[in-house]
């Protein structure tokens, strides 16, 4: 029964994707310029041809950047959110800086990171962190602020201290917000890793796509982009699965 409902819910998305693929195929065939717009079939063929270097070298390099960047962003974002929730002074000092960090174009800072750290993994990790810590910080902070005052007062009347207040009330209340932030941060982390690799790297899917562009290989440019998209969707699906297992009360 549940599988039938899931299939029916996913049917409109599947139909739309199929229609877009057909439209893409028709446009690419009409242009007849594969170096500009290859067909989906050509992209899949190129992905299969390049499966060796893509899956054994470049995909692991990009996923390493994504994993390290996400871990740093989660730790940094949670720490900033907790600090701003605990101290009004910290909130007034840090909140404008967190907002200001997102006004600087990432593509302007990425070359500086390459200049400082070279082609090492850390230049790409910094780009990823810059793009992903913001949704974690702001969304989790809003989650802390959403805790009802009446619930806090009730726990104080029952003799709860600050630690018990945090563990028993605030942390469970903020979990849905945390997973929402994570679902935003995962695609951004993949984009950040690709941007960092595009602007300066020796491996990774972003680097490979740029290299194919210099060779005017349209299908070669799209193949790693397709792989990046699939990786982001799979990671988001994992986060959604964990959310359903851990935040069982959300639908209630």
Looking at residue 189, the DSSP 8-state letter turns out to be H
Phi then psi for residue 200, to 5 deg, are 180, 100
36-82 pLDDT tens trace: 888 888 899 999 999 999 999 999 999 999 999 999 999 999 999 99
pTM of structure:
0.85
Of residues 13, 116, 136, the one with CA closest to residue 72? 136
CB atoms within 10 A of CB 168: 13
For the chain, the structural domain boundaries read 39-52+80-246
Q: What is the CA radius of gyration of the chain?
A: 22
114 within 8 A of 200, measured Cβ to Cβ:
yes
| Distance from C-alpha of 70 to C-alpha of 128, rounded to nearest angstrom | 8
Phi then psi for residue 73, to 5 deg, are -65, -40
146 within 8 A of 177, measured Cβ to Cβ:
yes
Please tell me the CATH code under which domain 39-52+80-246 is placed. 1.10.3720.10
179-224 pLDDT tens trace: 999 999 999 999 999 988 888 778 889 999 989 988 888 888 999 9
């Amino acid at each position: 029964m549940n599988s039938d409902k899931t299939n029916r819910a996913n049917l409109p998305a599947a139909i739309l994707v199929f229609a877009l693929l057909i439209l893409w195929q028709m446009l690419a065939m009409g242009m007849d310029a594969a170096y500009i717009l290859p067909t989906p079939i050509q992209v899949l063929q190129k992905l299969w041809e390049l499966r060796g270097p893509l899956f054994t070298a470049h995909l692991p390099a990009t996923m390493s950047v994504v994993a390290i960047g996400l871990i740093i962003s989660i730790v940094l974002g949670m720490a900033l959110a907790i600090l701003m929730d605990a101290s009004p002074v910290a909130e007034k000092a840090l909140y404008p800086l967190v907002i200001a960090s997102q006004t600087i174009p990432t593509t302007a800072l990425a070359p500086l990171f390459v200049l400082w750290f070279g082609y090492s993994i850390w230049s790409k990790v910094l780009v990823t962190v810059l793009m992903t810590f913001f949704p974690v910080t702001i969304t989790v902070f809003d989650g802390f602020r959403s805790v009802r005052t009446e619930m806090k007062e009730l726990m104080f009347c029952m003799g709860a201290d600050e630690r018990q207040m945090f563990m028993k009330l605030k942390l469970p209340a903020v979990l849905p917000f945390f997973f929402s932030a994570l679902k935003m941060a995962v695609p951004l982390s993949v984009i950040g890793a690709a941007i960092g690799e595009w602007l300066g790297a020796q491996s990774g899917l972003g680097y490979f796509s740029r290299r194919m562009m210099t060779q005017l290989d349209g299908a070669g440019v799209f193949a790693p982009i397709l792989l990046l998209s699939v990786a982001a969707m799979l990671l988001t699906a994992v986060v959604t699965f964990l959310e359903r297992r851990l935040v069982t009360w959300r639908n209630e």
